[in-house]
Every structure is written in structure tokens, then in C-alpha cells.
Structure 1
Amino acid sequence: MRSTTRALLGLATVFAALVPLSPATAAPAAPVPAAADVPPGAPAPRTVAPGLVIDDDFPDPDVFAEGGTHWAYSTSSRHGRVPYATAPGPDGPWAVRGDAMPTAPAWTGGGGFWAPDVSRRADGRYLMYFTGPDRASGRMCLGAALAASPAGPFAATSDRPLVCDPGEGGAIDPSSFVDSDGSRYLLYKNDGNAVGRPAILWLQRVAANGTTFIGSRAELLRNNLPSEDGVIEAPVLVKRPSHYVLFYSAGVYSTPDYQTGYAVSRSLTGPYTRAYRPLMTTASLDGAVSGPGGADIGDGRVFFHGARPAGGRGLYVAQLGWDGDLPVVRGSRVRHEAERGALHRAAVRQTPSASQGAVAAGIDHADSWVDLTVFAAGPGAHTLHIGYAAGYGAAQHALSVNGRRVGTVDYPDRGWENWTEVSVPVRLTAGHNTVRLQFLSRWAELDYVEVA
């Protein structure tokens, strides 16, 4: 958004996520120790911004809680075909325990197993969906396995894949979803990226056993957005009071461009509309996590992987909040500009000057201000990030939060054509907060506001 006057014009929306302090003023948060480094009996760490809770190769995590224990499963690694880990709570401490599927299904050949998903069936048994190398087609395909315990051992339900169409590139990244009426569904991606065909996220209803299909599948989303590098995968579905939220990963997983996005629909089968900005990117996390993806949702948390300097992808956990049934990840910036449609209206009090007229007025007079409604997933210290341009000398705004004056925002004069950002610390309560910027001196043209 680029306005032509030195005022806050058209800034209609601020939808704020919690993020660490600006990288220019704060170091990345210290990682949570790996499970192997946590002394026995140590209290579970409290995750605020993204915390590295398994500092080992543990990609494509799936997490669920059962019997006072949290269980996590990952893509194949040195720990086994389907490594699993446990913790007393979502934030850890996590310990990698071993392999939940020590025996390979008959239909699989050599190679790794990807993106497992474990859920409990109504009969008390545990169902695992997984991606495995199909010996017959040479493609990655979906299988199912059962166990009496979340720890396994999981045994395949069939000597054939559950979903495998080589002409579509095979199938990967399964996940389960149970709707509010108890109906069960399987989500997955046909791996069109492997064969130069469309890659589509599919929804297939299944019976209570999770392996008998009911009706035909429905397309939810496909790889038609250039900014996602032609790749979408890792679907996870959540139902909120007003709509369904489809989380997915996009981009090339081995690069910092890998990201987590989401789309919403009032109907289970769509159409789904992508959010204007991704939920988590390397940039939105201020570089604290590289290539955040493979996300799973639960317990007021988002679990995801990110690249490790030592190699592989570690397991991260971050706090998740909901503002108007839209997700907010603590640690990831979210910015909504006026022209993209308002979630919260900014109330502007202004006194027009004779030179400007009533249309081009803003906070450049003693009795003018702007109130911004921002959302915080949790209470505590945050940072207000403001994109601006200023000329004719440095400008200032008085800063208030929830009706209390808390400081001053200084806008150094960088010239009107040089857009830059200033960052100011604030403390917010959980949920919605009112942030006021009020005139103090001179003029600053504001472009966006984010809350960290």
C-alpha cells in the first residue's frame, strides 16, 4: 500500500501475530534442549515463540494426545522406518523412543516412509496412514496399518496400497479428519509434481475403520499459485465454528522458501480460499526457523519442522491462537493491508487542514489519532512494527495500549521515497487489544503495521 499524502490513509486492517523482537534488536530465541539433553524429571518448557523441542531429524511431524502422553511420529530417519517420540505435554520434554513400524509392509520396496498420521478408531485400535515406496509402480503410495498401542508395532492392513495411481504420480502425505458429526475422512496429495501433472489435495470419506472408502473423493486445492513454486502438500483439516481451515505446506521442502499456508471454506468439500499471506515463512519468523512446514495442529499448538544447521529437519512447537476463526501463530508476523479487506477497522480521528481538505487528512494535527485493533495469541512482551516514510524532519507519535500511554514512536527522516520500518516494544493481553498512535510532531506516512 503506497499513499500519496503524509498521513495514515487507507490503513483499514491490522491482524497481528506474535513474533520475536525485530532481528535488528534481538537474537533468536534459544532452542529448547533436545530430549536426550533433558535431565530426568525436568519440568516441561513453556513454548511461547517457536521452540525446537526435538533437535534431531524428525520431519513431517504428526502429534496426538492419549492417556496423559503426547505422541509424535515422523518421516523415516536414523531412528527407524516410522520414528516416534513421547512427551508429558505438547511443549515437552520430548524423547525419541524408536520405530513404530519395525516390519515393512509386503507391498513396499526399498526407500523411506513419509509423513505418517496416527489416530484412534472407535474400536480402540490405532490407525496409521503412511506413505511408502510401492514395489510394483515405483511410486510413493499410501498405506494403512493398525496397532493396539500408539507405540505399535503397527502392522499393515493389506498387502496392497490403500491409494496408488501411478498416472497421477502416486499419493503422499495422508492425514485423518473426523467431522463434528463423527464422519471420518482421509486427506492426501496425489504427487503430480513427480510426473509433471497437477498436484491436488484430496478429501475422501471413509468408514469407521478408516480403510473402506465411501463415495468419491473431492478436490480441495491444487498447485496453481506461482508464489508457492508449484508445490502444495501436507494437508491438515481443522473445523472452526464459522468455517473449515485447511492447512498445507508449499514450496520446495529443501529450501528456506518452504512455508505453511492455509485456506478456508464454509463447506467441508470447498471451495477453499487461500489466505492472502502464508501463515509461516522463514521471513515471517524473522529467520528463527528456516523452511517451516509439515505442520500439524492440536492442544493450542502448531507442530512443524524446520531445517537444522546440522542437517535434517527438527521438530518445532509454537503457540496457536484463533482470531475470528483465523489462525495466528506466536512467533510469525501477519500483516493485512487495507486494500486486501478489513478484519478489524482502524478508527481514525482527524482534523482536516485548509491545505489538505477533508479527504486527505490524517494524524498530522494535535487532536488526531488512529486506533488499531490487534490480536495476540498470548499475553506479554511484543513488538509493534511500523512501515513508514518521513520527510521534513523526524516525526513522532504517542503510543498507547488499551487506553494507557506506554511510549513514543520515533520516525527518523529517511525521505519520502525511502520506505523503512521502526520497531517499538509493547505489552499486550491475550486476545484483542487497542493500539493508539497519536500525533506528537511533524509527519510520517504509514504503510503497514504488524505486531510481534
Structure 2
Amino acid sequence: MRGAARPASCAASRRFRPRCGPDSGYGPPVPNRGAVRLLVLLLTASVLAVAAPALADEQVPRPVLNLDFPDPAVVATPNGLVAYSTGDRVPHAWSRSADGPWRRGPGLLTHRPTWSRDGGIWAVDVARVEGQWLLYYATPVRGIGETGRCVGVARSDSARGPFRPVGRAPLVCPTYARTPTAQDPLLPRDPTLPRAGVIDPSFFRDADGTAYLLYKTDRIPSTVRIVALAPSGQRVAPGATSLELVRSQGVLENPVVTQRPEGYVMLTSEGDWTRCGYATRWLRSVTLLDWAAAESGMLLDVDTTGVCGPGGADLVEGSGGRTLVFLHGWTCRSTDLPCTGTGKWDHKPRQRGIRAMYAAELGWVGGVPEVTDWLRAP
């Protein structure tokens, strides 16, 4: 019991009575078996720690970009790869190959739309639609608290911008926000969801050519919704109404969908993004608009990867059926090693935690994703 006094023992007073023994205080000391076991375990752990750190380090994935680059969205272009992250005006990075070297550049959004207020842009997605590069982003708005956000779209002739906001109203935004009426106002209003806005937009084009936007309703319970887009990708399709696909009582975010022969696969992040327990889960459904009977499993977590908080994942489908997944994870103390331990890494300034970008190759077994190889920076 913490704070309770313990009886004095020979072991405790041995420094002052070297000959003390049980009962009378004289005779040879009797070893404490629990203490001996603990000492053996500690010595064994020390030996293992000295003998095996290099091997352990070799097995831990390394980031391909060890700079703060959370929620990476990555696209392939004829000149290489371009990545976008959470941050002011959407910071970006580019590289000739997935393993780097990556070079980080400034924000690519020219300005916030008139319906936005100041604040960071969260978890974007970029897609090429009808010859234009489209940037879907979540920006702060008025009327729904300090962190409340809504989704807008911007366009550019180049994957590296600059991107200019499209339209005078949000693409997706609840009716209770102080903005012009959005094209998808989340009607009818669901009273079981918090008044917190929408984040994490993600573009998907189905095999029949229909374009969709997925997004998350913020806070908990969390939901992932989908709405059909016009062919240009810059507006909600006329008469379209968003549908709820998945609901969780905890945090479920960053939806990304791809289509496989066995069905549709969605990747989502779950948990607290500030902790090592943040993880990436997969779901699989035979239909795009109904996930009630979806299968589910864990793709990336700290126990199986060694990466602290592997989340914010995005997929890049390459030539020859190659699939790459980009994600972030916490590294600490200006090294490329994962943070270890518990707690919120954004609350530990001495650890200098950042969310670095990792990359891995995915294989598909029966339509289920699994990591086959981790990429490393050259």
C-alpha cells in the first residue's frame, strides 16, 4: 500500500549492522529470494540490452522523411511523387522515388477561402480529375468551437500548386456552422453526433467512373460518410445526399478507399493521435455504399511494426499492381528512432517528438492488405 510504513529488516539496516541476522540480529544474513530473482532478471535484461540493440534497431522501420509531416497524402506524377501534410497552407514535399531523398517545400494553398477563419489546415487529399489537380482540405470555420472545421476544394494545373480555393461556400459543412450553405450540409441533422464539423476528406473514383468524397464527422462518436461528386470533382453531384458508412464510439478517422477484385478496402486510423497506440485498421466490403457487414482487421500498430502511432495512412497505386502506403509515426530526440513509452508526445517538449513520414509496400492476400517491406531513406 503506497505510503504505508514497512517493518525494519536486516537487509534495510545491513549498512550499519554488517553481522545482523534474523531474530537476534546476529549471524549470517538470509538472502531474500524475491530480491535475488529480481537481481537475476535485471542482470539478464542488461546483458540482452547490451548484446542486442543493433539487431533491434535494424528491425525497426525508419522514416523516409524525418521531418514533422503529419497525415501525409501522396500522389504520383510523371516527375515523381508529391506529398502533402497537415499544417499552415498545406506544406508539401517531393521526391523522384518513394524512399527519397524527399525535399520539403512551403504551403501550396494560396489563401484561405472567405468562409474560413485563421488556423491550420488538417489532413488533405489530392487527386487529378479531368486534367486539374484538386486539393480537398479541412479548414477552421466560425460557429463550431475552436477546432471546428469544414471541407473545401482548391484546384491547380500542377501537383505542386499553387492551389486556389474553388467556390464561395464549403463543399461539406454542417448547417449549424456560420458559413454559406454547403453543397453537402449533412442533412438530415443527426442529433447523436457532436457539433464539431467535418475533417479528413478523401477522393475515390469507382470502377464505373463515379467520383466520391469520403470524410469524417469530428469528435466521438466518429462516423465516416460519403457523397457523390460531379464529374469535375469540384462540386457535389446534383441531388446527391451523403450517406453514413461506418460509425465508431471511439476515434475513427482518415478514411482511404481502394478497390480490389475481392471488394472495397478502407483504411482508417483509430485511437489518440498523440500516443503510440494510434493505429491503422482495414475494413473490407463487397459494396461501396453499405459497410454494415464489413470485415475488419489491424494493418499497422506499434506492437507489430515498432512504429510509434502508425496512422494517417494514404495509398499510392503504382505500375504493375504495386501498392505503397505512406503514413506518419512519432520519432523523438532528433533521431530517426520511434518514440518509446507512454503519454502524449505533443505534450513532451524535452522529447522533441515529431510525426515523421514512413513508407511501406503492401501485398494483398485474399483481398486483405499486409506490409511486405518497409522502405528506408538512402
TM-score of the aligned structures, taking structure 1 as reference length = 0.58
Paired residue secondary structure (2:127): strand
Alignment of 1:330-349 (within 5 A): 330=372
- 1:70 aligned partner, one-letter code: L
**Pair 1:172–1:276, CA change in 2 (3 A):** closer
Give the match for residue 310 of structure 2: 292
Question: Which of 135, 139, 153 is residue 132 of structure 1 equivalent to?
Answer: 139
Question: Which of 306, 309, 314 is residue 329 of structure 2 equivalent to?
Answer: 306
Q: Does 1:181 align with 2:208?
A: yes
Mapped to 1, the partners of 2:127 and 2:373 lie a distance apart of 28
1:50–1:330 contact (8 Å) kept in structure 2: no
Q: Which has the higher contact order (CA 8 A, sep 6+)?
A: 1
Q: Does 1:320 align with 2:371?
A: no
RMSD: 2.2
**Pair 1:272–1:243, CA change in 2 (3 A):** farther
Bigger-Rg structure (1/2): 2
Mapped to 2, the partners of 1:314 and 1:72 lie a distance apart of 12
Q: Does 1:209 align with 2:232?
A: yes
Deviations 1:167-203, CA, capped at 9 Å, x for gaps: 642000001001111110000001143xxxx311011
Q: How far did residue 106 of structure 1 move? A: 1.6
Question: Which of 53, 57, 70 is residue 68 of structure 2 equivalent to?
Answer: 57
Deviations 1:377-422, CA, capped at 9 Å, x for gaps: xxxxxxxxxxxxxxxxxxxxxxxxxxxxxxxxxxxxxxxxxxxxxx
Runs of 4 or more above 4 Å deviation: 272-276
Q: Does 1:94 align with 2:97?
A: no
Unaligned runs of 5+ in 2: 1-51, 177-193, 333-351
Q: How far did residue 24 of structure 1 move? A: 8.3
Mapped to 1, the partners of 2:357 and 2:327 lie a distance apart of 6
Paired residue secondary structure (2:300): coil
Size of the aligned set, in residue pairs, is 278
Q: How far did residue 161 of structure 1 move? A: 1.8
- 2:104 aligned partner, one-letter code: V
Q: How far did residue 205 of structure 1 move? A: 0.8
Q: How far did residue 98 of structure 1 move? A: 1.6
1:134–1:161 contact (8 Å) kept in structure 2: no
Give the match for residue 291 of structure 2: 271
Mapped to 1, the partners of 2:53 and 2:299 lie a distance apart of 22
**Pair 1:131–1:29, CA change in 2 (3 A):** farther
- 2:358 aligned partner, one-letter code: Y
Q: How far did residue 326 of structure 1 move? A: 0.7
Mapped to 2, the partners of 1:276 and 1:156 lie a distance apart of 36
Deviations 1:111-141, CA, capped at 9 Å, x for gaps: 111011111111x111110010013444211
Mapped to 1, the partners of 2:127 and 2:368 lie a distance apart of 25
Mapped to 2, the partners of 1:272 and 1:263 lie a distance apart of 11
- 1:206 aligned partner, one-letter code: L
Mapped to 1, the partners of 2:216 and 2:171 lie a distance apart of 13
Q: How far did residue 216 of structure 1 move? A: 1.7
TM-score of the aligned structures, taking structure 2 as reference length = 0.69
Q: How far did residue 274 of structure 1 move? A: 5.5
Paired-residue identity, %: 39
- 2:205 aligned partner, one-letter code: V
2:285–2:294 contact (8 Å) kept in structure 1: no
- 2:135 aligned partner, one-letter code: M
Q: Does 1:28 align with 2:57?
A: yes
Structure with the larger strand share? 1
Give the match for residue 84 of structure 1: 92
Deviations 1:144-175, CA, capped at 9 Å, x for gaps: 11111111111111232211114642000001
- 1:222 aligned partner, one-letter code: R
